[in-house]
Structure 1
């Protein structure tokens, strides 16, 4: 009897071990939720839905985009961090949610380094310094000279001190040793409108938010904040051409709640990479936001996040930025 019980127990254990493997091979066998910290109709929302549509076709399962905006990404990030790590909930994250918030906010309701496991990169979102098209400023050097001649008076619109555009404004000013009047706005759309209208002299924003106004001849980009010039804006110099090493861009990526089964993470990563490396998809994404080079591997995503944390921790220390 004991031997038979042992045999039955071993058989049950084998079935228990095989079951997760079998389910992993069939993943996903039900809808997958993608939580987003931005509202419907935003740039990240458009990117998430475009990618979700392609993955849904591959998987034969719907991708449900759940918008949880507010709290400087904290509401959506917290919801994703507390979701069941069963392979059916993922988080469409930004640089702010996974990195910079740590150095700007004292009491985050989630820990981006402990609560999430990396899945893959979506792409980087270039930012730019621009001015009203009627401005006399036609280059980064002229912008710097004007700021130095008028310390504290040159107005630069952005989305606020605890946002990526606000941080880039501060970093640029520090690196070229100028004092500007950083003007916070509730949204990038409002900042663009006031700069076009002449209420503010300059603007730091993501490139997709100003592309239409640049094309219409209402804004003039002086420089992009990426490490090199970007496609389609080849005549716009990079800040790094004046300040070697200056390379700041927003980015988007996918993470999962910590403890999510590795097979689901790897499958998501592999299929995301295939979607992003499609030329047509890359072009469609570029038109609304990120510049993509594929998802990379899970390990590459983890290494990138670790490097970003080291970089922003140093910057926060160098600029005496204290979380509030």
Structure 2
């Protein structure tokens, strides 16, 4: 009887120890994330403004993750290549996507062959910052305000504006639709070439991303009339918003956010979100983006999901108003 009792006790102890060991191993596995390098896909080339921002994110994440965080540049097709690769990636927390809402919400209206439902293909992680766009003219232009530019474009013939991507084109077309004016779009491969034509007066205006605009406005190469964000830019605080300049309710501010492939475990999403919250509520983030012309705005996964869905509706309206046909 004692032998049987001892055997039973031994068996129970083994079960308890086995359960405890399993719980310990599960907890250890959770704590181990990440145990290898994390890769962030980006739809822009190395050295671009987007790449500079992405490398700030990767450097700060690496400090917290204790593993390399590698930016994989996959430029082309308005970030659609990077989005497609990320959507097909294994949902294990080691492949992420950093993308602008102009691509995540707008590509379906701008590209005929873009078939990804970005709402269902990804798990939202966090919003990091809002991009700024700046409406610019030649430094010696007599035009000093958005109202004056609108009036000039209405009375002048053969108006022209420059753009280097469809986001800039859409922002300009959206402004023209609101102003009741017209201008011919001129495509450029290199932003510096377009800026040179703005400065010379060859172009009547251009909507530039804040990262590039900040430097050329500060050094006097071109003149800024307004920013397209709801709030003034921290890098160009003296420049009014479009709303302040008289364009009621005009806001064009694509936001940048981090996403993971659908099915990525919740605990990994929460870990990443916690690190990104630390980064994007820090002075370091505000200082970095103050130079690059964007406004820091950390928001969690719930808000990101809501913003992306709302952005899809806004892009549908903007593309229709601007009369842009998908390519």
| Correspondences of 1:277-296 after superposition (within 5 Å) | 277-294=281-298, 296=299
1:288–1:303 distance in 2 versus 1, CA, 3 Å: same
1:76–1:12 distance in 2 versus 1, CA, 3 Å: farther
| Aligned position for 1:156 | 161
| Aligned position for 1:5 | none
1:178–1:16 distance in 2 versus 1, CA, 3 Å: farther
Residues 108-167 of structure 1 show CA distances to partners (whole Å, capped at 9, x for unaligned) of: 15331221111001101110111110111111111011111114x22111125xx11111
Q: Does 1:297 align with 2:303?
A: no
Gaps of 5+ in 1: 1-7
Work out which of the residue numbers 49, 55, 59 in structure 1 matches 2:65: 59
Residues 194-252 of structure 1 show CA distances to partners (whole Å, capped at 9, x for unaligned) of: 21233212111112212121111121101111123222423322111212211111321
1:177–1:191 distance in 2 versus 1, CA, 3 Å: same
Work out which of the residue numbers 236, 243, 250 in structure 1 matches 2:247: 243
Residues 251-286 of structure 1 show CA distances to partners (whole Å, capped at 9, x for unaligned) of: 211001111111111110110110111112211122
| Contact 2:119–2:305 (8 Å) recurs in 1 | no
| Correspondences of 1:163-182 after superposition (within 5 Å) | 163-182=166-185
Gaps of 5+ in 2: 1-13
2:127 and 2:141 map into 1 onto residues whose CA distance is: 37
| Aligned position for 1:139 | 145
| Correspondences of 1:263-278 after superposition (within 5 Å) | 263-278=267-282
1:216–1:273 distance in 2 versus 1, CA, 3 Å: same
Q: Does 1:111 align with 2:111?
A: no
1:17 and 1:309 map into 2 onto residues whose CA distance is: 43
2:176 and 2:20 map into 1 onto residues whose CA distance is: 62
TM-score (norm 2): 0.88
| Aligned position for 1:255 | 259
Displacement, 1:15?
8.2
Work out which of the residue numbers 306, 310, 316 in structure 1 matches 2:319: 316
SS at match of 2:255: strand
2:21 and 2:108 map into 1 onto residues whose CA distance is: 43
Aligned-residue CA RMSD (Å): 2.4
Structure of larger gyration radius: 2
2:23 and 2:326 map into 1 onto residues whose CA distance is: 45
1:19 and 1:301 map into 2 onto residues whose CA distance is: 33
Displacement, 1:319?
4.7
2:180 and 2:326 map into 1 onto residues whose CA distance is: 23
Q: Size of the alignment, in residue pairs?
A: 313
1:281–1:217 distance in 2 versus 1, CA, 3 Å: same
| Aligned position for 1:3 | none
